[in-house]
């Protein structure tokens, strides 16, 4: 079992709420200050300079008119923002903006919240939150406190949006209960001043982390435990992945997050299960084979998960010899189910992370599967079988309670065209799914590069164990649906056996009770986890948004990126509960409904054309991009790729999701330092993002397309010889190799500019993007062209046709 956030119940009668209490300025109401820490001169200054924003002072500044500038999409074509960075989040009222969480961590589809559900219904915009709660942050205030201050009524953590009635009492921004300020909180450890609770870091930072006292633990924090479950059947060994895995883990062994308690273990499987005794003192690792897969037992339960620092040499020995040990294997069966069963037995006492490497379907023992994709079922078939719990393997994982104790990450290196992805296990255990279709070490060097880099990140990135995340919001709002990889424990509580810094979540919200008399509402996400160093920590993010009563204010605050991400998650669910065509319709209807509502309810003067407010100008384009995305496109594609694409839409944080949905296209043969970013004396060119249309290409230039996990450098037939020689090191167009995946490090300004740009793009994401240099003859040209979202394709409308279609539907 995971640790649960233990709430300390205190009888509410002891601290009576003071509902009728008027809000008074802080300066006039310091009744009795303890003399102990008192520094009178310091305090007086503080009182005069009191800057804490009382919510009363949060005047709703009128939204910038730019957000509502009317745009006729049929006429205005250059919609993409200048520069290569995505457009900024809509403006919040300044007071809130200053205090709120970074939009990269926590944001809402509507930055102005409708007062009532009926207003929301009328706007036809989705209401929801996008979270990247465990994101790597360069600055994170960490507070150690024996008494974490929370609302006695709703358990909200004190945050920048609470109101201090006076130095002794604060009013919760979620439930409005008045709470006492505990004595310890009067002292500010940062400024070392007494009597200024509003200056505490908890009240200054909307993202904060607490080191939790013991009441936040059900049991002592467990060590970091890593269990690797490796497919060693003939099929698997033949792909060569085992070399890559062993090499990468060997190199990363010292950087696995953890401390001296960290434990590690390995299980390999083909038709039988193999365990490895790595107990300190042995001269070499001992392999133990269990061939009774119907009744798997642990041969030496105490020496299979070992102290990494004590057994490091044995682990290194094992990793060095594993690839050869199975080099000659002729075993073709896969007993993945029984291997998982064994893994669970091993991990259930402590929890931890299971990393499963799989190249084929489980064929024998519990959980064996038959290929399910009939040729006639391709693409258009319902994708129900994976995303809902009906696969045998998934039920197995559930019945084994795997998701309750450990994170399960699936590395799928499939070479089986017809395999249904089993990622559903991961979905319910806060794991991740990685997918390298047709992986082969020799035949596909780009895949190997990706596997290596992704694996390195996976092994060394931060990890939290035994996590739960609770999302609280102002009374009246409620959580409708969660999207992401987790296990829903109750209406607002998610159980995450592991949490990693690369996972995103989406939450759909509804307005259950009108938000009358409220100027603002707040959302708070609290993630309780055990760090790899065995500390129980709580990371808290708080977002506060204004409540508005007019449709135009709602529209003015629409965040088109967040809306797109939420719609994408909702459409994936739609594929599962209904069908692909339903999901596609729901996306198209979202665009139609929103623009129709805008036209009928916000625009006062009738105008011709397809009109949007400026802040939503990219909505039809993003919707079309989703319709052409691997997850939702109608034509072709392998089923496992489609399902994986759906996982991506559900598990990627917003910024990365957008990269995958709407690739960036840049002309790169004439990069200059003009407008370049200067990062640590590195000049990063910032070419303008272009529309995704063949029209934008020209034969005498070169273009970079960034699709998230892959980049293409398309070189035009008449591209300048200077670029060819100085950047690609090729004498002529025909000389550009067809399978080039690396830019040569040439000592020219053009070469370093392009490499700086590519490196910079790559650094901005947690997964690896392979770069393919392509020209007209390249086999990958089709893939490149498929991303030209604005163009007509065999099975899909061009952007302009799509706009006409929307217009037609709206004027019906």
Q: Which residues bind ligand NAG (CB under 6 A)?
A: 39, 41-42, 45, 139-141, 201, 204-205, 260-261, 307, 309-310, 399-401
Q: Using CA atoms, how far apart are residues 34 and 547, in angstroms rounded to an integer?
A: 39
What is the torsional sign of CA 312, 313, 314, 320? positive
Least distance CB 585 / ligand NAG (angstroms): 39
Query: 3-class DSSP state for residue 528?
Result: strand
Q: Using CA atoms, how far apart are residues 376 and 398, in angstroms rounded to an integer?
A: 30
Residue 172 contacts which entry, ligand NAG, Zn ion, none (Cβ below 5-8 A, type-dependent): Zn ion
Residue 154 contacts which entry, Zn ion, ligand NAG, none (Cβ below 5-8 A, type-dependent): Zn ion
Residue placing its CB nearer to ligand NAG in the complex, 303 or 432:
303
DSSP sequence for 135-166: ---S---EEE-SS--B-TTT-PBP-TT-EEEE
Residue placing its CB nearer to ligand NAG in the complex, 424 or 554:
424
Residue placing its CB nearer to ligand NAG in the complex, 310 or 416:
310
DSSP sequence for 31-92: ----STT--HHHHHHHHHT-----GGG---PPPPHHHH-EEETTT----SPSSSSPPPPPPP
What is each CA distance from 657 to 137, 566, 579, 756, in whole angstroms?
19, 11, 22, 23
User: What secondary structure, in 3-state letters, does 274-300 show?
Assistant: EEEECCCCCCCCEEEEECCCCCCCCCC
Residue 686 contacts which entry, ligand NAG, Zn ion, none (Cβ below 5-8 A, type-dependent): none
Instruction: Assess 156 for contact with Zn ion (CB under 5 A).
Output: yes
Residue 151 contacts which entry, ligand NAG, Zn ion, none (Cβ below 5-8 A, type-dependent): Zn ion
Residue 509 token pair = 């919200």
Residue placing its CB nearer to ligand NAG in the complex, 68 or 101:
101
Residue placing its CB nearer to Zn ion in the complex, 111 or 524:
524
Q: Using CA atoms, how far apart are residues 498 and 412, in angstroms rounded to an integer?
A: 19
Instruction: Assess 153 for contact with Zn ion (CB under 5 A).
Output: yes
Of residues 168-207, those binding Zn ion (CB under 5 A): 172, 174-175, 177
Provide the β-strand partners of residue 540. 208, 526
Q: For the chain, first and last CA: distance in Å?
A: 55
Least distance CB 7 / Zn ion (angstroms): 12
Residue 307 contacts which entry, Zn ion, ligand NAG, none (Cβ below 5-8 A, type-dependent): ligand NAG
Residue 139 contacts which entry, Zn ion, ligand NAG, none (Cβ below 5-8 A, type-dependent): ligand NAG
Q: How many CB atoms lie within 10 A of CB 66?
A: 12
Instruction: Assess 381 for contact with Zn ion (CB under 5 A).
Output: no
Q: In sequence order, which ranges of 598-723 are alpha helices (DSSP H)? A: 619-627, 639-651, 654-661, 721-723
Least distance CB 607 / ligand NAG (angstroms): 44
Q: Using CA atoms, how far apart are residues 390 and 397, in angstroms rounded to an integer?
A: 11
Q: Is the distance from CB of 211 to CB of 222 less than 8 angstroms?
A: no
Residue 156 contacts which entry, ligand NAG, Zn ion, none (Cβ below 5-8 A, type-dependent): Zn ion
Residue placing its CB nearer to ligand NAG in the complex, 140 or 679:
140
Residue placing its CB nearer to ligand NAG in the complex, 542 or 652:
542
Q: Is the distance from CB of 23 to CB of 57 less than 8 angstroms?
A: no
Least distance CB 548 / Zn ion (angstroms): 23
Among 74, 137, 143, 154, binds Zn ion (CB under 5 A): 154
Residue placing its CB nearer to ligand NAG in the complex, 169 or 261:
261
- Residue spans of beta strands (DSSP E) within 580-720: 611-613, 664-667, 677-679, 682-684, 702-706, 710-715
Least distance CB 41 / ligand NAG (angstroms): 5
Among 129, 151, 322, 477, binds Zn ion (CB under 5 A): 151
Q: Using CA atoms, how far apart are residues 671 and 332, in angstroms rounded to an integer?
A: 52
Least distance CB 103 / Zn ion (angstroms): 25
Least distance CB 259 / ligand NAG (angstroms): 9
Q: Which residue is nearest to ligand NAG (CB)?
A: 42
Instruction: Assess 670 for contact with Zn ion (CB under 5 A).
Output: no
Instruction: Assess 163 for contact with Zn ion (CB under 5 A).
Output: no
Residue placing its CB nearer to ligand NAG in the complex, 118 or 399:
399
Query: 3-class DSSP state for residue 562?
Result: helix
Q: Using CA atoms, how far apart are residues 423 and 421, in angstroms rounded to an integer?
A: 5
Please compute Rg for the chain using Cα positions.
28
Stretch that binds Zn ion, among 149-157, 270-278, 421-429, 776-784 (CB under 5 A): 149-157
Residue 41 contacts which entry, ligand NAG, Zn ion, none (Cβ below 5-8 A, type-dependent): ligand NAG
Least distance CB 292 / ligand NAG (angstroms): 18
Residue 71 token pair = 């745009």
Stretch that binds Zn ion, among 4-12, 167-175, 384-392, 475-483 (CB under 5 A): 167-175
Residue placing its CB nearer to ligand NAG in the complex, 97 or 718:
97
For residue 514, the 8-state DSSP code is: -
Residue placing its CB nearer to ligand NAG in the complex, 204 or 279:
204
Least distance CB 154 / Zn ion (angstroms): 3
For residue 407, the 8-state DSSP code is: E
Instruction: Assess 522 for contact with Zn ion (CB under 5 A).
Output: no
Q: Is the distance from CB of 586 to CB of 623 less than 8 angstroms?
A: no
Least distance CB 525 / Zn ion (angstroms): 15
Q: Using CA atoms, how far apart are residues 565 and 557, in angstroms rounded to an integer?
A: 16
Least distance CB 176 / Zn ion (angstroms): 7
Instruction: Assess 474 for contact with Zn ion (CB under 5 A).
Output: no
Tell me how many residues contact Zn ion (CB under 5 A): 8
Provide the β-strand partners of residue 412. 358, 435
Least distance CB 153 / Zn ion (angstroms): 5
Residue 109 token pair = 């589809």
Residue 491 contacts which entry, ligand NAG, Zn ion, none (Cβ below 5-8 A, type-dependent): none
φ, ψ at 169 (rounded to 5°): -140, 140
Residue placing its CB nearer to ligand NAG in the complex, 140 or 516:
140
For residue 221, the 8-state DSSP code is: P
Least distance CB 203 / ligand NAG (angstroms): 9
Residue 89 token pair = 């989040």
Instruction: Assess 159 for contact with Zn ion (CB under 5 A).
Output: no
Instruction: Assess 645 for contact with Zn ion (CB under 5 A).
Output: no
Residue 637 contacts which entry, ligand NAG, Zn ion, none (Cβ below 5-8 A, type-dependent): none
Least distance CB 160 / ligand NAG (angstroms): 8
Least distance CB 223 / ligand NAG (angstroms): 7
Distance of CA 625 to the CA centre of its chain: 19
Least distance CB 178 / ligand NAG (angstroms): 24
Instruction: Assess 521 for contact with Zn ion (CB under 5 A).
Output: no
Q: Is the distance from CB of 772 to CB of 713 less than 8 angstroms?
A: yes
Please compute, for residue 668, the number of CA atoms within 13 A of its CA located in the half-sphere on the CB side.
31
What is each CA distance from 85 to 131, 618, 624, in whole angstroms?
20, 14, 20
Residue 191 contacts which entry, ligand NAG, Zn ion, none (Cβ below 5-8 A, type-dependent): none
Q: Using CA atoms, how far apart are residues 401 and 415, in angstroms rounded to an integer?
A: 29
Residues that bind Zn ion in the complex, under the rule CB under 5 A: 151, 153-154, 156, 172, 174-175, 177
């Amino acid at each position: 079992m995971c640790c649960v956030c233990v709430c300390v119940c205190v009888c509410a009668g002891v601290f009576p709420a003071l509902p009728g209490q008027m809000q008074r300025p802080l300066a006039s109401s310091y009744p009795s200050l303890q003399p102990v820490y008192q520094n009178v001169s310091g305090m007086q200054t503080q009182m005069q300079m009191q800057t804490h924003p009382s919510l009363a002072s949060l005047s709703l500044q009128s939204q910038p008119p730019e957000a509502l500038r009317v745009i006729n999409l049929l006429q205005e074509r250059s919609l993409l923002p200048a520069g290569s960075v995505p457009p900024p989040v809509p403006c919040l009222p300044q007071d809130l903006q200053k205090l709120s969480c970074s939009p990269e961590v926590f944001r809402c589809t509507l930055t102005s919240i409708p007062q009532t559900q009926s207003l929301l219904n009328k706007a036809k915009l989705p209401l929801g939150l996008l979270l990247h709660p465990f994101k790597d942050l360069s600055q994170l205030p960490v507070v150690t406190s024996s008494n974490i201050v929370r609302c006695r009524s709703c358990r909200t953590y004190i945050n920048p949006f609470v109101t201090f009635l006076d130095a002794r009492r604060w009013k919760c921004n979620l439930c409005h209960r008045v709470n006492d300020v505990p004595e310890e909180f009067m002292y500010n450890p940062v400024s070392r001043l007494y009597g200024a609770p509003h200056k505490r870091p908890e009240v200054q930072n909307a993202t904060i982390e607490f080191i939790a006292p013991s009441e936040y633990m059900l049991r002592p924090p467990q060590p970091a435990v890593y269990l690797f479950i490796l497919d060693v059947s003939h099929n698997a060994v033949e792909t060569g992945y085992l070399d890559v895995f062993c090499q990468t883990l060997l190199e990363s062994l010292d950087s696995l997050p953890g401390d001296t308690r960290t434990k590690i273990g390995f299980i390999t499987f083909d038709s039988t299960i193999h365990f490895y005794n790595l107990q300190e003192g042995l001269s070499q690792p001992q392999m133990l084979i269990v061939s009774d897969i119907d009744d798997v037992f642990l041969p030496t339960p105490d020496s299979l998960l070992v102290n990494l620092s004590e057994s490091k040499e044995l682990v290194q020995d094992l990793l060095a010899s594993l690839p050869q040990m199975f080099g000659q294997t002729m075993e073709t069966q896969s007993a993945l189910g029984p291997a998982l069963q064994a893994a669970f037995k091993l991990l259930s006492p402590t929890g931890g992370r299971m990393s499963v490497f799989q190249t084929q379907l489980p064929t024998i023992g519990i959980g064996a599967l038959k290929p399910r994709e009939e040729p006639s079922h391709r693409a258009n078939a319902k994708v129900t079988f994976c995303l809902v719990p009906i696969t045998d393997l998934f039920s197995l994982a559930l019945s084994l309670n795997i998701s309750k104790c450990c994170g399960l990450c699936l590395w799928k290196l499939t070479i089986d065209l017809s395999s249904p992805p089993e990622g559903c296990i991961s979905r319910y255990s806060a794991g991740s799914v990685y997918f390298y279709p047709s992986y082969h070490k020799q035949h596909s060097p780009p895949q190997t590069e990706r596997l290596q880099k992704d694996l390195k990140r996976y092994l060394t990135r931060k990890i939290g164990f035994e996590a739960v995340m609770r999302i609280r919001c102002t009374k009246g709002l409620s959580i409708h649906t969660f999207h992401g990889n987790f296990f829903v424990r109750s209406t607002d509580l998610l159980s995450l056996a592991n949490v990693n810094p690369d996972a995103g979540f989406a939450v759909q919200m509804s307005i259950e009770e009108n938000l009358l008399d409220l100027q603002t509402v707040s959302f708070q996400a609290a993630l309780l986890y055990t760090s790899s160093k065995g500390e129980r920590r709580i990371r808290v993010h708080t977002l506060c948004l204004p409540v508005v009563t007019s449709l135009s204010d709602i529209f003015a605050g629409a965040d088109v990126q967040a809306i797109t991400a939420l719609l994408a998650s909702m459409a994936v669910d739609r594929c599962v509960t209904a069908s692909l065509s339903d999901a596609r319709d729901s996306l198209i209807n979202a665009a139609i409904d929103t623009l129709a509502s805008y036209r009928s309810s916000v625009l006062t003067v009738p105008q011709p054309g397809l009109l949007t407010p400026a802040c939503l100008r990219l909505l039809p384009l993003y919707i079309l991009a989703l319709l052409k995305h691997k997850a939702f496109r109608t034509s072709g594609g392998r089923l496992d790729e489609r399902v994986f694409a759906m996982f991506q839409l559900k598990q990627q944080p917003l910024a990365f999701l957008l990269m995958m949905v709407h690739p960036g296209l840049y002309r790169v043969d004439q990069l200059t330092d003009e407008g370049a970013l200067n990062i640590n004396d590195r000049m990063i060119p910032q070419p303008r993002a272009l529309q995704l249309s063949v029209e934008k290409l020209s034969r005498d230039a070169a273009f970079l397309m960034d699709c998230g996990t892959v980049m293409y450098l398309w070189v035009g037939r008449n591209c300048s010889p200077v670029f060819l020689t100085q950047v690609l090191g090729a004498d002529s167009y025909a000389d550009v190799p067809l399978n080039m995946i690396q830019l040569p490090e040439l000592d020219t300004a053009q070469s370093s500019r392009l490499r700086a740009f590519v490196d910079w793009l790559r650094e901005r994401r947690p997964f690896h993007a392979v770069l393919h240099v392509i020209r007209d003859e390249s086999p990958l040209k089709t893939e490149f062209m498929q991303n030209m979202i604005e163009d007509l394709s065999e099975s899909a409308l061009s952007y302009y046709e799509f706009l006409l279609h929307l217009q037609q539907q709206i004027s019906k």
